[in-house]
């Protein structure tokens, strides 16, 4: 058997690698140098510059057989609007590009000033060159400065400016690759000094400095070469000159402990003892251990006492286990000039102590692991026991499954729980090892909260006190997911002879569920349910909304055509009241709804068709297979890999509505499997109503959902929940809102509304919570000057109104763990922040620029920027019914 070490050595000899070692600018080219490894024979090299639809040749030089230079003409870079790629082909094969160890990520060379444009580069699979900060106006006109003095958290720059009054504020912009920060300086007229005293937001790396003058960013030119470093609370900062450019090189404060000892005592506390060198100890300072949880923004401080030559702190186990997020540890030196210093660990220091512990928390055997992080600081991870569980067979309504790892749960009992998704009412039975459950023994009819609803299966673990300590969905091992199919079907009748249908199905993640609908006894089912009327169109959105493309198209059809159009919505929906008196508005599940659903020839929905039918949308149910199914969409595709692939349906959509040719071709056809005639480029119906009449002033915060959150406990412990609760309490953000008389309106996703509304108390007066359904999304978009979202496609509507969008990508890797359909730079048009401080900096910049939009081009995202989208949709559907492609504005769609 070959060991892992031997396999790694073999891979090093076999795998071909193309690794970037450095890049630089000449007078005519941007040059990248690569090292080639394991290429025995190179017959041909070819490189291309891909910018939108342009594929331009790129020169290369091959030297010493293992060195490759790629020379990109500077005039190519002038063509970049958002981003471009350079692809390299060796022996006619496209090669993956990676970074060599010598190619420092975060170094100043990754950003380039070319012809008054600030470009960033990235080497990952391909070479990407991005016009990342196109919203800013850059100039090559430099501002000469010299460092006059520096001290703790203070930098003084010599800069004579007769136009500024004493005490005037000056904005400095610091850029590092894809990030930027705003540093506030104050001008001293008498000395000609610009004094900067707040560097808290700068993080590790090299930041290039620009000064904003009349909304134009001028690069700072450093006049002096020898400049001393200065210290701040968290970092040591060196002013650096590279060529003529002025940078701040930031490194974290650190200490090198001689020894670290970690002990668990009384099963409730951890003692961390740190032995420092004599030069790291200040007699007049007091020390504390600082524990930080980056993903939640929470931190705690614990006193350090000198005992037996070591600084010792005691941390309650409950604090370490407070969340499952990774922790970091620092030493806080408390003095007139306080410093937070990270540990700089060598491998041997953690070999001298125990680093892995098993403890009992919340009736579970929990693992704690202290470790050396990539930045050599001290970190800690928390791991709960894995709850092994699955259903491996379905026989009628009998489930055969298993549960394992129960020995890691102390004095606990496991249950299989069936829960109504709407009411949260449930049934449960105890399970252990291998189990068989016959669902016919359960009162399924009594569990239903509505005629049409969904039951979810969970495995629940309760401790001896009856408290739920784990609740997780259960998968079906033989799942073959289709939205319009089922594994088992059962019909039950109640005492009134109402017919209840139950279908066992799965989610896209193979989690088990039951879909159910009711056919009331008084519903008259046509003798021939296969007969459909192509002039009867049933339109809707989610079954409880009337705010999106569905309601806009319904209004247009009623006003402009002779189509017999109906709109369906639940009676208890907040959106029902404003439209209930309109002709052809149907209550979901009513006799009128059934009657129209039985004869409608065309079904148009922004989500899955199940949202507009009172029964299961599947073959065999009331002639569903004889209808034309139109996907109106609820956004522009190109980001998340959504569930509407053709392979996910036995009866897929007959027509798929999109907003641009790239969305049609690259996403819906290439990725999702639809053919050319099944996709129509029309634009979304709701775009017709996007008209900005007044200049708004406030900010809208509107995040989307996370599909991996499926229980209350998971939500409240999630990075998602903490990220937004922390944001709306950010002191700098609240200060900006107060200073500029701006309100921030928070409109959470419908699944998160209750959590945020009840979990956040005593919000700042500038933060306004918007309850679900209290105002339509379109009105929200029109009433606000700036949108903050994460991945929501509602950003395209805002961009169409020529207003700025800022994206908060704190969990981008996890959100796109299943893939992204188009590169981030192509569809996230606006400012992008990966952490809270960066987000607030971008918001501050837009406020300072009076909410001006970024310099953007959306033609590749939305083809038609007019109010004719509904007409194009109608014509496309009519073309489908006539059995031919429709000509839209002179083009086949």
pLDDT value of position 888: 47
pLDDT value of position 887: 42
User: What is the average pLDDT score of the chain?
Assistant: 89
pLDDT value of position 284: 60
Q: Are residues 98 and 149 in the same domain?
A: no
CA dihedral 745, 751, 754, 756 (to 10 degrees): -50
Q: Are residues 505 and 549 in the same domain?
A: no
Kindly list the strands in the beta sheet with 698-701, ordered across the sheet, starting from the edge strand earlier in the chain: 767-769, 744-746, 698-701, 784-789, 805-808, 831-833
Domain boundary residue, one of 621, 654, 687: 687
CATH number of the domain to which 833 belongs: 3.40.50.12580
Domain count, the chain: 6
Q: Are residues 278 and 247 in the same domain?
A: no
pLDDT value of position 890: 44
Concatenate the DSSP letters of all residues of 249-270 into one string.
Answer: EEEE-EE--SEEEEEEETTTEE
Q: Are residues 327 and 466 in the same domain?
A: no
**230 — pLDDT class (breaks 50, 70, 90):** very high
Q: Write the pLDDT tens digit of every residue in 584-595.
A: 999 999 999 999
Q: Are residues 572 and 549 in the same domain?
A: yes
Q: Mean per-residue pLDDT for 385-409?
A: 95
Rounded Cα–Cα distance for residues 197 and 274 (Å): 32
Q: Write the pLDDT tens digit of every residue in 707-735.
A: 888 777 778 778 888 889 889 989 999 99
Rounded Cα–Cα distance for residues 101 and 372 (Å): 20
pLDDT value of position 893: 46
Sort residue 819 into left (φ over 0), alpha (ψ -120 to 50) or beta. left
pLDDT value of position 613: 98
Q: Which of 68-77, 268-277, 662-671, 714-723 has the lowest mean pLDDT?
A: 714-723
Q: Which of 220-234, 330-344, 550-564 has the lowest mean pLDDT?
A: 220-234
**11 — pLDDT class (breaks 50, 70, 90):** low
Q: Are residues 470 and 590 in the same domain?
A: no
pTM of the model: 0.79
Please give the C-alpha separations between residue 12 and each of 15, 16, 90, in angstroms, as whole numbers: 6, 8, 19
Q: Determine phi and psi for 541, rounding to 5 degrees.
A: -125, -140
Q: Write the pLDDT tens digit of every residue in 108-128.
A: 556 788 888 888 888 888 898
Q: Are residues 538 and 681 in the same domain?
A: yes
Q: Which of 99-103, 366-370, 662-666, 807-811 has the lowest mean pLDDT?
A: 99-103
508: containing domain: 389-519
Rounded Cα–Cα distance for residues 504 and 457 (Å): 10
Q: Are residues 413 and 450 in the same domain?
A: yes
Least Cα distance to 96 among 125, 116, 120, 66 occurs for 125
Q: Are residues 190 and 230 in the same domain?
A: yes
- Given a cut of 90, whether residue 252 has pLDDT beyond it is yes
- Given a cut of 80, whether residue 258 has pLDDT beyond it is yes
**Contact 581/567 with Cβ under 8 angstroms?**
no
Q: What share of the chain is helix, strand, coil (3-state, %, to 5)?
A: 20, 40, 40
CATH number of the domain to which 659 belongs: 3.40.50.2000
Q: Which residue has the higher pLDDT, 81 or 328?
A: 328
Rounded Cα–Cα distance for residues 490 and 504 (Å): 9
- Segments of 125-242 assigned E as strands: 126-130, 143-151, 154-158, 169-176, 179-188, 193-196, 205-213, 216-222, 230-231, 235-242
Q: Are residues 231 and 299 in the same domain?
A: no
- Given a cut of 80, whether residue 253 has pLDDT beyond it is yes
Q: Write the pLDDT tens digit of every residue in 427-450.
A: 999 999 999 999 999 999 999 999
Q: Are residues 264 and 192 in the same domain?
A: no
**Contact 127/97 with Cβ under 8 angstroms?**
yes
Q: Which residue has the higher pLDDT, 600 or 714?
A: 600
Rounded Cα–Cα distance for residues 598 and 605 (Å): 16
pLDDT value of position 708: 81
Rounded Cα–Cα distance for residues 795 and 803 (Å): 10
Q: Write the pLDDT tens digit of every residue in 534-583.
A: 999 999 999 999 989 999 999 999 999 999 999 999 999 989 999 999 99
């Amino acid at each position: 058997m070959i060991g892992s070490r031997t396999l790694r050595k073999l891979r090093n000899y076999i795998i071909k690698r193309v690794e970037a070692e450095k890049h630089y600018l000449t007078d005519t080219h941007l040059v990248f140098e690569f090292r080639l490894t394991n290429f025995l024979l190179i017959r041909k090299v070819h490189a291309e510059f891909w910018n939108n639809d342009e594929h331009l040749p790129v020169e290369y030089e091959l030297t010493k057989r293992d060195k490759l230079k790629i020379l990109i003409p500077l005039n190519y870079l002038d063509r970049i609007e958002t981003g471009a790629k350079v692809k390299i082909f060796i022996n006619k094969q496209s090669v993956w590009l990676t970074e060599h160890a010598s190619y420092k990520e975060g170094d100043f060379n990754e950003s380039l000033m070319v012809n008054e444009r600030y470009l960033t580069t990235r080497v990952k699979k391909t070479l990407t060159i991005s016009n990342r900060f196109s919203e800013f106006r850059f100039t090559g006109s430099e501002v000469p400065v010299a460092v006059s003095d520096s001290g703790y958290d203070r930098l003084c720059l010599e800069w004579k400016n007769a136009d500024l009054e004493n005490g005037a504020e000056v904005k400095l912009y610091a850029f590092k690759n894809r990030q930027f920060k705003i540093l506030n300086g104050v001008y001293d007229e008498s000395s000609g000094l610009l004094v900067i005293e707040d560097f808290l937001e700068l993080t590790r790396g090299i930041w290039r400095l620009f000064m904003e003058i009349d909304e134009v960013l001028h690069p700072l030119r450093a006049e002096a070469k020898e400049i001393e470093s200065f210290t701040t609370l968290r970092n040591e900062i060196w002013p650096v000159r590279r060529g003529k450019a002025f940078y701040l090189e930031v490194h974290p404060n650190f200490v090198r402990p001689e020894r670290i000892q970690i002990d668990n005592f009384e099963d409730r506390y951890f003692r961390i003892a740190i032995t420092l060198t004599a030069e790291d100890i200040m007699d007049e300072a007091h020390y504390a251990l600082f524990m930080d949880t980056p993903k939640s923004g929470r931190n705690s401080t614990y006193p350090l006492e000198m005992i037996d030559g070591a600084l010792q702190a005691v941390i309650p186990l409950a604090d370490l286990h407070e969340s499952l997020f990774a922790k970091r540890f620092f030493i806080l030196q408390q003095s007139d000039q306080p410093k937070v210093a990270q540990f700089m660990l060598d491998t041997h220091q953690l070999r001298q102590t125990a680093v892995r512990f098993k403890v009992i928390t919340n009736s579970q055997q929990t693992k704690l692991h202290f470790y050396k992080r990539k930045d050599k600081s001290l970190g800690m991870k928390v791991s709960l026991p894995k709850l092994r569980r699955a259903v491996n067979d379905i026989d009628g309504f009998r489930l055969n499954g298993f549960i394992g790892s129960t020995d890691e749960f102390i004095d606990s009992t496991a249950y299989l729980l069936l829960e109504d998704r709407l009411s949260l009412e449930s049934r449960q039975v105890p399970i252990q090892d291998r189990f068989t459950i016959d669902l016919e023994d359960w009162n399924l009819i009594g569990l239903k909260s509505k005629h049409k609803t969904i039951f979810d299966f969970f495995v629940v673990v309760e401790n001896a006190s009856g408290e739920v300590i784990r609740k997780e969905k259960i998968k079906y091992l033989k799942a073959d997911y289709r939205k319009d199919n089922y594994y088992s079907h059962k019909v039950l009748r109640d005492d009134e002879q109402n017919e209840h249908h139950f279908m066992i199905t799965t989610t896209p993640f193979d989690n088990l569920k039951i879909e159910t609908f009711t056919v009331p006894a008084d519903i008259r089912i046509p003798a021939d349910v296969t007969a459909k009327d192509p002039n009867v169109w049933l339109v809707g959105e989610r079954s409880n909304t009337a705010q999106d493309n569905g309601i806009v198209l319904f209004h247009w059809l009623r006003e402009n055509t002779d189509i017999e159009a109906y709109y369906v919505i639940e009676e208890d929906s907040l959106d029902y009241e404003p439209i209930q008196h309109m002709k052809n508005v149907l209550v979901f599940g009513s006799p009128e709804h059934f009657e129209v659903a039985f004869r409608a020839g065309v079904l148009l929905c922004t989500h899955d068709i199940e949202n507009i039918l009172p029964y299961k949308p599947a073959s065999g149910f009331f002639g569903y297979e004889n209808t034309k199914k139109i996907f109106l969409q609820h956004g522009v595709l190109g980001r998340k890999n959504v569930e509407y692939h053709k392979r996910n349906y036995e009866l897929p959509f007959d027509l798929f509505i999109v907003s641009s040719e790239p969305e049609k071709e690259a996403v819906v056809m290439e990725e999702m499997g639809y053919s050319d005639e099944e996709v129509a480029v029309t634009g979304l119906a709701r775009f017709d109503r996007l008209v900005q009449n007044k200049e708004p002033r406030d900010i809208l915060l509107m995040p989307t959902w996370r599909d991996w959150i499926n229980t209350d406990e998971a939500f409240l412990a999630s990075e998602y929940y903490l990220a937004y609760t922390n944001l709306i309490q950010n002191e700098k953000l609240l200060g900006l809102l107060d200073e500029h008389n701006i309100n921030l309106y928070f409109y959470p996703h419908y699944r998160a509304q209750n959590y945020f509304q009840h979990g956040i108390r005593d919000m700042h007066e500038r933060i306004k919570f918007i309850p679900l359904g209290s105002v339509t999304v379109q009105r929200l978009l029109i009433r606000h000057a700036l949108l903050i979202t994460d991945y929501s496609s509602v950003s395209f509507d805002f961009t169409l109104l020529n207003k700025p969008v800022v994206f908060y990508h704190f969990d981008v890797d996890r959100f796109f763990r299943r893939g992204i359909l188009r590169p981030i730079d192509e569809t996230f048009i606006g400012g992008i922040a990966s952490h809270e401080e960066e987000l607030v900096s971008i918001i501050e910049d837009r406020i300072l620029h009076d909410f001006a939009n970024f310099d953007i081009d959306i033609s590749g995202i939305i083809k038609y920027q007019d109010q004719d989208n509904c007409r194009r949709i109608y014509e496309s559907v009519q073309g489908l019914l006539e059995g031919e492609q429709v000509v839209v504005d002179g083009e086949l769609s």
